[in-house]
Amino acid sequence: MVSSAAKVVPASRCERPAPAPLWTRNFVAGTFLNFFIAGNYFMLMVVMTAYALTVHQAPAAVAAFCASAFIVGTLFSRFAAAPMMERFGRMPLLVAGCIAEVALSALYLLNEPVGALIGVRLAHGFSYGVCSTTIATVITSVVPPERKGEGIGYFMLSITLGSAIGPFAGIFLANNFGYPVVFAVASVLVALAIPAALLLRPASSTKVKGSEAAAEAEVEAAADAVAGAVTDAPAEEGREDAAANRDEVLAESLHAAASTRVPSTHLEEKVAAKVEHSPLARFVEAGVLPISVVCGLLFFGYSSLLTFLTPYATEIGLARAASVFFVVYALAMFVTRPFTGRAFDRVGPHPVMVPAFVSFALGMVVLAFAANDWMILGAAALLGFGVGTVQSCGLAMAVRVTSDARLSVANATFYMLLDVGVGVGPILLGIVAPLIGYANLYLCMAVVGALALALFLVVAKTEKGAR
């Protein structure tokens, strides 16, 4: 007669383990924190040039630098963020960065001279870069590996919302209440990031994964477990087998702990081999450089929207549609990112990212030939899907096989290349635009999107097989 216990065992073995939770307190708090700092960034970015022109009577070039100095500070922070995380720890650095963001946002209320304003913008950009890199590192370490695409897609929606709400709020407040109100609201918004940071409690295991401490812990655990097997072995043969197993387990543990990243493609292996033993290894995660370059190239094209959309739309008489361009752009990101993230986890990068690159190129073509409001808004939807998907899935590709010990460097490397694309774009395109016109410029950005797609196909050639 079969006992009831015997009946239960097979049933329990047939049960599939429940999927790892995504919407944990850490994930929610980190996503809100990222929204608060992104909203502050975009709210101030859209008004800073006009503020310098109207309040300080600064020359146009100086006024423009008052805005772009923020990006310069952010770029420097990408080099410093990873070493600072290693020295001070992720959470202390994140809390300190959020406090610095509040203090620097409040300094705008002092109506400081232009020189001091540029200095504040540089420092503010640096603090934002540290915060954004650190919170991205924390989130990518707590998202379950099998849900990286989905989790990062939801997380990046915080930037999407910030890029939609921030500019709208900044322009509305500046036009109706004045710049001091803009600065006060921006300060209050980013102050909410401090309690969000204090709510974060990353698991202790995510703090040492891939580090020497983890290696030693694995070795000790393996040694203790196998030592017990040796003690319990009744015969000499059993002791020899157990000892052999111990050596094998120790070797595997040391090898696993020593490796910081498993390259996904042959190109990553080549790049990693050249960089991993150079001084750059402290600041750059070599394996994520290929996909970071691809995304940075696309963001070079994206910078043309930030810089020239308003004068282009005014030139062709479609300024009304351009005023809500980024709202539609953000809505397209918001709607598509959850689906693209899940698809990325299920089928890999190619079926998701290739359509996104095509959508970006097509959006630029539609924008170049825009003849009515609907074409402007249609281009916004296509570009929102393209940029949003490439950014979130590109980051997922960069971090999903990165050890936790190198996540800070991987995130810094990825965002560094995005910053370079957005920062260099206005300078180079500002030289080209007067020569060829805005419409032809956007056709050229469609070509840039096609080049980014071609480069992606080279970079991710073996990604599917590696998975």
> Are 463 and 349 contacting, i.e. CB atoms less than 8 angstroms apart?
yes
pLDDT value, residue 273: 55
Instruction: Encode pLDDT of 374-409 as tens digits.
Output: 999 999 999 999 998 998 888 888 877 666 677 777
> Are 412 and 79 contacting, i.e. CB atoms less than 8 angstroms apart?
yes
DSSP code per residue over 201-239: ---THHHHTTSHHHHHHHHHHHHHHHHHHHHH--SHHHH
In which element (H, E) is residue 10 found?
Answer: helix 4-14
Joined tokens for residue 463 = 């990604």
Instruction: For residues 81 and 406, give the distance between their C-alpha atoms in angstroms, rounded to a whole number.
Output: 12
Query: Model-level pTM?
Result: 0.66
* Higher pLDDT among residues 353 and 400, named by residue: 353
Instruction: For residues 440 and 426, give the distance between their C-alpha atoms in angstroms, rounded to a whole number.
Output: 16
Q: Is the pLDDT of residue 205 over 70?
A: no
Instruction: Encode pLDDT of 64-84 as tens digits.
Output: 778 778 888 988 888 888 889
pLDDT value, residue 213: 47
Q: Is the pLDDT of residue 465 over 60?
A: no
Contacts of 402 (CB under 8 A, 6+ apart): 140, 260, 261, 285, 287, 288, 410
Q: Is the pLDDT of residue 113 over 80?
A: yes
Instruction: For residues 406 and 85, give the distance between their C-alpha atoms in angstroms, rounded to a whole number.
Output: 11
Q: How does DSSP classify residue 110? A: G
> Are 176 and 374 contacting, i.e. CB atoms less than 8 angstroms apart?
no
Residue in the structure block whose two tokens are 């070039």: 61
* Higher pLDDT among residues 71 and 363, named by residue: 363
pLDDT value, residue 252: 45
